[in-house]
Structure 1
């Protein structure tokens, strides 16, 4: 974004979560982008490292295929742009979404307050062309995705607790509107 002028396809979201756990526990989960599809499957359909041979030993750039509640998907790259610490992490996005995100973690008693500042511009033609009309729906879609993230993170934190009864912890929500090519084919018998 340049100056104060914003396009109808520019979005700024500030999300605040509160979860039972320490900033270190949160950092270990949110800082591992490669595991997003496992514990936040309602949003992250596919995550693939683009630099698995990074000299620091862990990938910093990932190819993502994501979705929210609405029946469209986004393909973009996430790059971790600052070291991941117990205070948070920063990232950039390129592809169907372009911009920056910053996660911050702050201990508050037995909980961690997590703030996500996400500033992106929609590049996917559908989103860019229809933002002027469907901005409230696209914003609601983001809020839905982030609510599923808070739920999924709380479940993942429970799963990682020593002595956790894994069978009693529900699985995270699956994606909505699974694409036709992923649905089982129906066969007709005559």
Structure 2
């Protein structure tokens, strides 16, 4: 693996069935709603939300993401295997390039979720600083995934309490939210290369 390559194995445990987990994680367009600490925006590639692909297929989704550190990533997520109650695979292209595999396994009233993420950092800022800050970038990923486990547990609770969703706390919001909003809105200024 090169210096800008990363391999992460994350394990989550949440109350719910693999089918419930697959329904949430398999819908990339909803990521900003239930995992807002990491996913700032999601837009289907090549059309509007209403004109989606045939059932069982998935349209690539353009994502704008961040972690705890004050930088953002723009990349496209493509589901490369059908979403099932056992899991699915994805590909990333853009500021991150690589593959990921979600696996779901029922364990009593909970589902054990394993995510194997193998990516290389293509964003110029990350490539230039990886030699120095690779441990910080890895810690940033671990922070983001911890927010994901927390947010997924809340989303599953919210779906079970559809009658009274106000009883479930909101998911954690993004850090440096003001910076993230400014970059998302485009404020008319040109972004510097690598930012």
- Name the TM-score, length of structure 1 as normaliser: 0.89
Q: Structure 2: how far apart are the matches of 1:158 and 1:96?
A: 33
Alpha-carbon spacing, 1:173–1:132, altered in 2? closer, same or farther (3 Å): same
Q: Structure 1: how far apart are the matches of 2:134 and 2:53?
A: 41
Q: Structure 2: how far apart are the matches of 1:181 and 1:141?
A: 16
Alpha-carbon spacing, 1:181–1:163, altered in 2? closer, same or farther (3 Å): closer
1:102 aligns with 2:97: no
Q: Which residue of 1 aligns with 2:159?
A: 160
Alignment of 1:107-146 (within 5 A): 107-146=106-145
**Structure 2, unaligned runs of 5 or more:** 183-195
- Contact preservation (8 Å) 2:70, 2:179: no
Displacement of 1:180 after TM fit? 4.0
Q: Which residue of 2 aligns with 1:186?
A: none
Alpha-carbon spacing, 1:44–1:181, altered in 2? closer, same or farther (3 Å): closer
Displacement of 1:182 after TM fit? 3.4
- Name the TM-score, length of structure 2 as normaliser: 0.87
Q: Structure 2: how far apart are the matches of 1:179 and 1:111?
A: 36
Greater shift after overlay, 173-182 or 137-146?
173-182
Q: Structure 2: how far apart are the matches of 1:162 and 1:181?
A: 31
Q: Structure 2: how far apart are the matches of 1:143 and 1:182?
A: 23
The structure number with the bigger radius of gyration is 1
Q: Structure 1: how far apart are the matches of 2:16 and 2:52?
A: 30
Instruction: Specify the SS of the correspondent of 1:127.
Output: helix
Q: Which residue of 2 aligns with 1:35?
A: 30
**Number of aligned positions between the proteins:** 178
Q: Structure 2: how far apart are the matches of 1:26 and 1:74?
A: 25
Q: Structure 2: how far apart are the matches of 1:181 and 1:25?
A: 30
Displacement of 1:7 after TM fit? 0.9
Return structure 1 stretches of 4+ with deviation > 3 angstroms.
Answer: 51-55, 162-165, 179-183
1:20 aligns with 2:15: yes
- Contact preservation (8 Å) 1:10, 1:119: yes
Q: Which residue of 2 aligns with 1:61?
A: 60
- Contact preservation (8 Å) 2:40, 2:180: no
Instruction: Specify the SS of the correspondent of 2:37.
Output: coil
